[in-house]
Amino acid sequence: MSKGITSQNEDYSQWYNDIVIKADLAEHSSVRGCMVIKPYGYSLWENMQSVLDQKFKETGHSNAYFPLFIPKSFFSKEASHVEGFATECAVVTHYRLKNDGNGQIIVDEEAKLEEELIVRPTSETIIWNTYKGWIQSYRDLPILVNQWANVVRWEMRTRLFLRTSEFLWQEGHTAHATSKEAIEETEKMLDVYADFVENWMAVPVVKGVKSPNERFAGAIETYCIEALMQDGKALQAGTSHFLGQNFAKAFDVKFTNKEGKIEHVWATSWGVSTRLIGALIMAHSDDLGLVLPPKLAPTQVVIVPIHKGEEDLAKITEFVDGLILKLKALNIRVKYDDRDTQRPGFKFAEYELKGVPLRIAIGARDMENGTVELARRDTREKFTVAQDGLDTYIQNLLEEIQKSIFQKALDYRNSHITKADSLEEFVELLDNKGGFIAAHWDGTPETEQKIKEQTKATIRCIPLNNPLEEGTCILTGKPSKQRVYFARAY
Amino acid sequence: MSKGITSQNEDYSQWYNDIVIKADLAEHSSVRGCMVIKPYGYSLWENMQSVLDQKFKETGHSNAYFPLFIPKSFFSKEASHVEGFATECAVVTHYRLKNDGNGQIIVDEEAKLEEELIVRPTSETIIWNTYKGWIQSYRDLPILVNQWANVVRWEMRTRLFLRTSEFLWQEGHTAHATSKEAIEETEKMLDVYADFVENWMAVPVVKGVKSPNERFAGAIETYCIEALMQDGKALQAGTSHFLGQNFAKAFDVKFTNKEGKIEHVWATSWGVSTRLIGALIMAHSDDLGLVLPPKLAPTQVVIVPIHKGEEDLAKITEFVDGLILKLKALNIRVKYDDRDTQRPGFKFAEYELKGVPLRIAIGARDMENGTVELARRDTREKFTVAQDGLDTYIQNLLEEIQKSIFQKALDYRNSHITKADSLEEFVELLDNKGGFIAAHWDGTPETEQKIKEQTKATIRCIPLNNPLEEGTCILTGKPSKQRVYFARAY
């Protein structure tokens, strides 16, 4: 335990909250359900954004921006969509305040909107209403657009990053001439997400599709990547939806195809959000604080001088200045903390809390010996290495740390995919081990719902390329052709 | 006139609208007053964001994110602030819709918020309410935070980019231990804005401070940069506010200073918005379309092959592939348009419309002669140059174009700062020449208001380092010690 952080074993949920607060990532605001993302937390989001944005552009997408508000009537045009979002949306009804004459500021009832506006919970409706004006012919397709935006889904119980009434995300919305092309796009973006979450966030994922109960409101098929947290609960890390022609039909978006025939346009949408920061924290961090993968860490290397006097410090600083230049030339994000107001031990604890992957300590004896002391945040190993060639040593070590953090999470995840062949075994595993439980299910929404009610576990996904296997549903005993992954989830 | 663009002389306002629409920058959405920023327009905003964000970081600022919603009571805590914004804000009153039983989706009256939420028109109140928890001692200061966000100010009459109910912007909010430091910050950020607008957007600005009538609601002093459009109207391109202790007092934000005494914190805020895209268009573009400064143009160079057959094209493409590699190595954004579905003339017009600064045309004879034809968008000059050394030639030419566009705007601006010594002269200049009119004013809000009512001109700013000069107010004849800049403005 460090700096008042509850240990994971004692209370995982409280541990999570402590980490978010103590590491200065975010805090609750005075607006119910809305968070303030503090500079350190936001810098993580910026690093994520920058990688994802580049990947979106490399796959041919452009960014655009659509209105925050959606007329209520748009929202209702796709039946299952409104069903999915109507119960949790912020509604704008007026456009002016006024002074009531007694010095109180009140809503001006004369400024009531003719039609209420919904603060976007997602933008399919407003975007497809816009696409109607952009698409006439197959030559106008595909449209490959992404938006970085804030969205609002009114939540009664909130948790920082994981579930907040307002959150930041990106939402891709693409339009295609054929079903095949739209499905390819849906799968391509799922791969982009999986690549990002595994190779940048160092969090292994299972790729799959959702059962009908868990599908996006308005989708034909929802693809997802599911990650496992250290407490054995799953977290949906990203979704990519094949929307078929549902939104094109709701908003009357048609095009003339190559054969001169008029048909409805095919759609996808896909998104990841600031929720990923929650996943990043819960996948790797420990009782001392954050553990960040080097590729996303705002600071990758911190250098702390251990000196007795000004003369020591001057020698150390001279060496460090040269080292920093070399590290920056290798695009390594490095910070030199020579504050004289804090002791080294205080600084060590602070950077452990903040999850800086690599710490370098340099004292007078190190300078004599031509060495430095390195400390890895992930394994907490310390070792002395030569100053000679230190820059490339560090570059390699950061890559090694990135791999090692991923491997650790992968080992944990792989050891937490367990088969269960009866409801008893299923509950036993959920309660005592957690993780993904591969079990047979009869394929009906009713059974999934009953299992959820009895066990709080949901089908996280039907893995892609799932092997076929004859079996019987753990609840109903009805025949089943494949196991699906259940878990309790965030 | 090109592609249905109204000429500037015929109707400047319609010309502007045509450019925005035809160049695919933005369009009106179905939500009253809100625009859709299309991919080409958004890429301009991304280029602007990227430069500004780097400048903010270089001056020590970090990004963060605060809630979209502001409780109504917060909003009212600073008297002049609520006065300035209350009449134009979107109010959230409910958090749920429901089915009325007849298939209609209606607002669920049972889900009425206890306290209405305002969609942020600017974030001083919610941020200072947050800063209260961050600041105890002088050691917690300064706080140098910026936010990229959407804001909403309900507008009855809207114009794409220039005035929309929702717009994108950045808002810096800083907290300081002393008045002096806060004023220095205010001035520093004004300089950052001026540097960006002049050296990236190629739009010359006048730096100054606002008269009390035009001050930000809640500010002690509003600094601004004012630009001049080609129709002689001014446009406020950015503002930086010294807020004194107003918001600290309204939200009770105090700190212990170095002497151990408790005092209120000093504040600044500063912002620029997607309005700058409007300024960019109106400062440089012409009847053929956009004219973009190379530093912000999404595509800086477009290459169009002029070929008779496949053999010609293959030779040209081989050369172009090599050229593109060299240009990209110089960080030049280049596009090769070898579409065979469109003729060169069509492409030329398209890139003129989109404002690509430099066009390269290459035909079979050019390949024989070792030359290419260059065409500048800004001056519409064409000239033939050698293929040898073309990459560095282009690099230099783009710099030359950037300077030339700025110089043209500067010459126009400088020739449109005119002195007027009577109201008659003043109105005559406004009606027939436009631009900034330097005139004496008695310093009272009443006089400024009367001049505005009579002439539609406002005081754009009192220029920084304004020379003192004895004179008499053009309206009242009362004594005045300096001329201030009036203009009709966007």
Name the pLDDT band for A1 (thresholds 50, 70, 90).
very low
Instruction: Point out the residue among B34, B42, B91 whose CB comes nearest to the CB of A97.
Output: B91
Instruction: Point out the residue among A27, A46, A152 whose CB comes nearest to the CB of B63.
Output: A46
Name the minimum distance, in Å, from the CA of A372 to any CA of chain B.
30
Q: Which CATH number describes the domain made up of A12-72+122-284?
A: 3.30.930.10
| pLDDT (0 to 100) of residue A3 | 67
Does the pLDDT value for residue A7 go beyond 90?
A: yes
Give the DSSP per-residue string, B224-293: EEEEE-TTS-EEEEEEEEEEETHHHHHTT-EEE-TTS-EEEPEEEEEEEETHHHHHHHHHH-BTTB----
d(CA A192, CA A174): 15
Name the minimum distance, in Å, from the CA of B107 to any CA of chain A.
8
| pLDDT (0 to 100) of residue A245 | 98
**How do residues B446-468 score in pLDDT, each as one tens digit?**
999 999 999 999 999 999 999 99
* pLDDT over 90 percentage in chain A: 93
Interface probe, candidates B25, B69, B102, B165, chain A, greatest A C-beta count within 10 A: B69
Say yes or no: A43 contacts chain B, CB-CB below 8 A: yes
Say yes or no: A349 contacts chain B, CB-CB below 8 A: no
Name the minimum distance, in Å, from the CA of A92 to any CA of chain B.
4
Average pLDDT, chain A: 96
Q: Could you check whether A301-397 and A417-487 share the same CATH topology?
A: no
CB burial of B322-331 (b: ≥16 within 10 Å; e: otherwise) equals ebbebbeeee
Say yes or no: B9 contacts chain A, CB-CB below 8 A: no
Name the pLDDT band for A188 (thresholds 50, 70, 90).
very high
| pLDDT (0 to 100) of residue B206 | 98
What CATH superfamily is the domain B301-397?
Answer: Anticodon-binding domain (3.40.50.800)
**How do residues B217-239 score in pLDDT, each as one tens digit?**
999 999 999 999 999 999 999 99
Instruction: Point out the residue among A67, A88, A118 whose CB comes nearest to the CB of B166.
Output: A67
| pLDDT (0 to 100) of residue B2 | 53
Answer whether A64 sits within 8 Å of B88, measured CB to CB: no
d(CA B147, CA A396): 35
Residue numbers of B between 222 and 261 with CB closer than 8 Å to A: none
Instruction: Point out the residue among A70, A74, A90 whose CB comes nearest to the CB of B92.
Output: A90
CA nearest B114 in A: which residue? A32
Name the minimum distance, in Å, from the CA of A193 to any CA of chain B.
22
What CATH superfamily is the domain B417-487?
Answer: C-terminal domain of ProRS (3.30.110.30)
**How do residues A348-374 score in pLDDT, each as one tens digit?**
999 999 999 999 999 999 999 999 999
Interface probe, candidates B95, B157, B340, chain A, greatest A C-beta count within 10 A: B95
* pLDDT over 90 percentage in chain B: 93
- SS (HEC) of chain A: CCCCCCCCCCCHHHHHHHHHHHCCCEEECCCCCCEEECHHHHHHHHHHHHHHHHHHHHCCCEECECCCEEEHHHHCCCHHHHHHHHHHCCEEEECCEEECCCCCEEECHHHEEEEEEEECCCCHHHHHHHHHHHCCEHHHCCEEEEEEEEEECCCCCCECCCECCEEEEEEEEEEECCHHHHHHHHHHHHHHHHHHHHHCCCCCEEEEECCHHHCCCCCCEEEEEEEECCCCCEEEEEEEEEEECHHHHHCCCEEECCCCCEEECEEEEEEEECHHHHHHHHHHCECCECCCCCCCCCCCEEEEEECCCHHHHHHHHHHHHHHHHHHHHCCCCEEECCCCCCCHHHHHHHHHHHCCCEEEEEEHHHHHHCEEEEEECCCCCEEEEECCCHHHHHHHHHHHHHHHHHHHHHHHHHCCEEECCCHHHHHHHHHHCCCEEEEECCCCHHHHHHHHHHHCCEEEEEECCCCCCCEECCCCCCEECCEEEEECEC
Report, as an integer, the average pLDDT of A163-189. Answer: 98
Residue numbers of B between 175 and 194 with CB closer than 8 Å to A: none
Contacts of A154 in chain B (CB under 8 A): 95-96
Name the pLDDT band for A474 (thresholds 50, 70, 90).
very high
Say yes or no: A96 contacts chain B, CB-CB below 8 A: yes
Name the pLDDT band for B1 (thresholds 50, 70, 90).
very low
| pLDDT (0 to 100) of residue B70 | 97
CA B310, distance to chain mean position in Å, is 45
Answer whether A93 sits within 8 Å of B94, measured CB to CB: yes
Answer whether B65 sits within 8 Å of A145, measured CB to CB: no
Contacts of B72 in chain A (CB under 8 A): 97, 105, 107
Report, as an integer, the average pLDDT of A426-445. Answer: 97
Name the minimum distance, in Å, from the CA of A160 to any CA of chain B.
13
d(CA A476, CA A146): 43
**How do residues B404-415 score in pLDDT, each as one tens digit?**
999 999 999 999
Contacts of A65 in chain B (CB under 8 A): 36-37, 42, 45, 168
Answer whether B97 sits within 8 Å of A89, measured CB to CB: yes
**How do residues B280-314 score in pLDDT, each as one tens digit?**
999 999 999 999 999 999 999 999 999 988 899 99
CA nearest B74 in A: which residue? A30
d(CA A162, CA A168): 11
Judge whether A246 and A289 are in contact, CB under 8 Å. Answer: no
- Domain limits, chain B: 24-68+122-284, 301-397, 417-487
Answer whether A96 sits within 8 Å of B74, measured CB to CB: no
Say yes or no: A25 contacts chain B, CB-CB below 8 A: no
Answer whether A133 sits within 8 Å of B37, measured CB to CB: no
Q: What is the ipTM of this complex?
A: 0.96
Tell me the backbone φ, ψ of residue A181, rounded to 5 degrees.
-65, -40
Contacts of A92 in chain B (CB under 8 A): 90-93, 119
Name the pLDDT band for B4 (thresholds 50, 70, 90).
confident
Contacts of B105 in chain A (CB under 8 A): 72, 75-76, 82, 86
Instruction: Point out the residue among A76, A105, A150 whose CB comes nearest to the CB of B86.
Output: A105
Say yes or no: A9 contacts chain B, CB-CB below 8 A: no
Does the pLDDT value for residue A2 go beyond 60?
A: no
**How do residues A35-85 score in pLDDT, each as one tens digit?**
999 999 999 999 999 999 999 999 999 999 999 999 999 988 988 888 888
d(CA B98, CA B107): 6
Contacts of B168 in chain A (CB under 8 A): 65
Report, as an integer, the average pLDDT of B106-135. Answer: 96
CA nearest B94 in A: which residue? A91
Instruction: Point out the residue among A37, A145, A166 whose CB comes nearest to the CB of B68.
Output: A166
Length of chain A equals 490
Residue numbers of B between 54 and 83 with CB closer than 8 Å to A: 62-72, 74-76, 82
- For residue B416 the two structure tokens come to 């449109």
Among left, alpha and beta (phi > 0; psi -120 to 50; other), residue A109 is alpha
Residue from B70, B69, B250, B56 nearest B145 by CA: B56
Answer whether B31 sits within 8 Å of A67, measured CB to CB: yes
| pLDDT (0 to 100) of residue B3 | 67
Judge whether B243 and B267 are in contact, CB under 8 Å. Answer: yes
Assigned fold of B24-68+122-284:
BirA Bifunctional Protein; domain 2 (3.30.930)
Tell me the backbone φ, ψ of residue A99, rounded to 5 degrees.
-85, 130
| pLDDT (0 to 100) of residue A466 | 94
